[in-house]
Amino acid sequence: RKKLLEIKGLQTTFFTDDGQIPAVDNIDFSVYEGEIVGIVGESGSGKSVTSLSIMGLIPSPPGKITGGEILLDGKNIAAYTDKQMQKVRGKDVAMIFQEPMTSLNPLFTIGDQLKEAILIHSPKWSKKEALARAVEIMKLVGLPRAEALLKDYPHQLSGGMRQRVMIAMALLCNPKVLIADEPTTALDVTIQAQILQLMKDLNHRLNTAVLLITHDLGVVAETCERVIVMYAGQIVEEAPIAEIFAEPKHPYTQGLIKSVPDMRYKKDNLYSIPGTVPKPGSIKVGCRFAARCEYAMERCTQETPPLYEAGEQHKSRCFLQDEQEVKQRVERFIES
Ligand code: SF4
Ligand code: MG
């Protein structure tokens, strides 16, 4: 499969009164054609900043991409001007957000907004052609009575339908990559499942690569082929989906898996990882997860763990992955 998107050493910094905050701190990953990749982490992990960096939507000031490359089809879009990025956005890479109400304009009908979005990238089209395309894409995302819906205003639609409209808008120009940031978080469980299924169908039918950003590993389990786990601005684990659930390597990922709600039992008192994500940049040396890690060793606060190879397609940023460490543990065990 072809590499569509390649993130190399990406660094996105926020310049605040409290100093420089490296919200995304030297991350590397790739997305291949037709693939669905999940990025998982708690709030403050840097996952949304990663997606906004790819979209060229980091608010500046205070934010700025301060290092690395974002290669889309081999071209470094991190170096693009705002004007150049406007041509890429929506056309090559599109994004849908958590709350469609904030991205749809309440004063305009669905039809007007879809038409406008089409005409930005295809200014030569007639209004009639644009509306025909709008109807076609609305049917594709499973919106019933598409023609009638064109005349509706956003508030007349249910949350699930609004999210379908947003997905339609994102797909208008056949983007190569679709970034979905918490696309189902604001929806109830049934609608959530339908939207995830829709994204899978679209990925299958249109071969659009999807980067799914979520705090919920359960969402990733149902949708993605591969998952990247972020913590305090860094990637801490990356693996194919089956492998990460069968054999999570990083203690943070293990905690996230334990916190996935089990719908079958409707458990109330869920496990949650104690403590909170440290502010990126606040820990200069050592593992950023150490304060919350039940396996933390002396070494974890004195040295900074690299991203170890933990399998053929598996990486983990944890000293437990270090062969020397493993050997010493076995030796200590044998001696005792
Ligand atoms: Fe825990 Fe140490 Fe691994 Fe960090 S490096 S996750 S503190 S065991
Ligand atoms: Mg977010």
pLDDT at 144: 84
What digits encode the pLDDT tens for the residues 112-140?
999 988 888 888 999 899 999 999 999 99
Instruction: Give SS3 for 63.
Output: strand
* Ligand 1 atom closest to Cα of residue 305: 5
Nearest CA to ligand 1 atom 6: 318
Please state, in angstroms and rounded to a whole number, the distance separating the CA atoms of residues 334 and 326: 12
What ipTM was estimated for this complex?
0.95
Which tokens sit at 207?
Answer: 């071969």
42 alpha carbon – ligand 2 mean position (Å) = 8
Q: How far apart are CA 26 and CA 288, in angstroms?
A: 14
| Residue-wise pLDDT tens digits, 51-103 | 999 999 999 899 999 999 999 999 999 999 999 999 899 889 999 877 665 67
Q: Is 228 helix (H, G, I), strand (E, B) or coil?
A: strand
- d(CA 83, CA 22) in angstroms, rounded, equals 25
Residue 44 structure tokens: 């403050």
Residues 226-259: pLDDT tens digits? Answer: 999 999 999 999 999 999 999 999 999 999 998 8
Instruction: Quickly count: other Cβ atoms within 10 Å of residue 192's Cβ.
Output: 20
Q: Is 251 in the pocket of ligand 1 (CB under 6 A)?
A: yes
CATH assignment of 3-107+153-335, given 3.40.309.10, 3.40.47.10, 1.10.3720.10, 3.40.50.300? 3.40.50.300
> Is the CB–ligand 1 distance for residue 131 below 6 Å?
no
| CA–centroid distance, residue 330 to ligand 2 (Å) | 41
Give the number of whichever ligand sits closest to the CA of residue 42. Answer: 2
The ligand 1 atom at the shortest distance from the C-alpha of residue 236 is 6
Beta-bridge partners for 178: 94, 210
Mutate to test the pocket of ligand 1, among 235, 254, 294, 300 (most ligand atoms within 8 A of CB): 300
Q: What is the distance in A from the centroid of ligand 2 to the CA of 99?
A: 11
CA-CA distance, 196 to 184, in Å (whole number)?
A: 8
DSSP helix/strand/coil, 31 = strand
- Nearest bound ligand to CA 213? 2
Query: Measured in angstroms, how far is the CA atom of residue 181 from the centroid of ligand 2?
Result: 7
Find out whether the beta carbon of 14 lies less than 6 Å from any atom of ligand 1: no
Average pLDDT over residues 9-23: 94
Read off the tokens for 14: 């926020």
Average pLDDT over residues 267-274: 72
Distance separating alpha carbons of residues 262 and 283, to the nearest angstrom: 34
Q: How far is the CA of 241 from the centre of ligand 2 (A)?
A: 21
Q: Tell me the pLDDT band of 39, cut-offs 50, 70 and 90.
A: very high
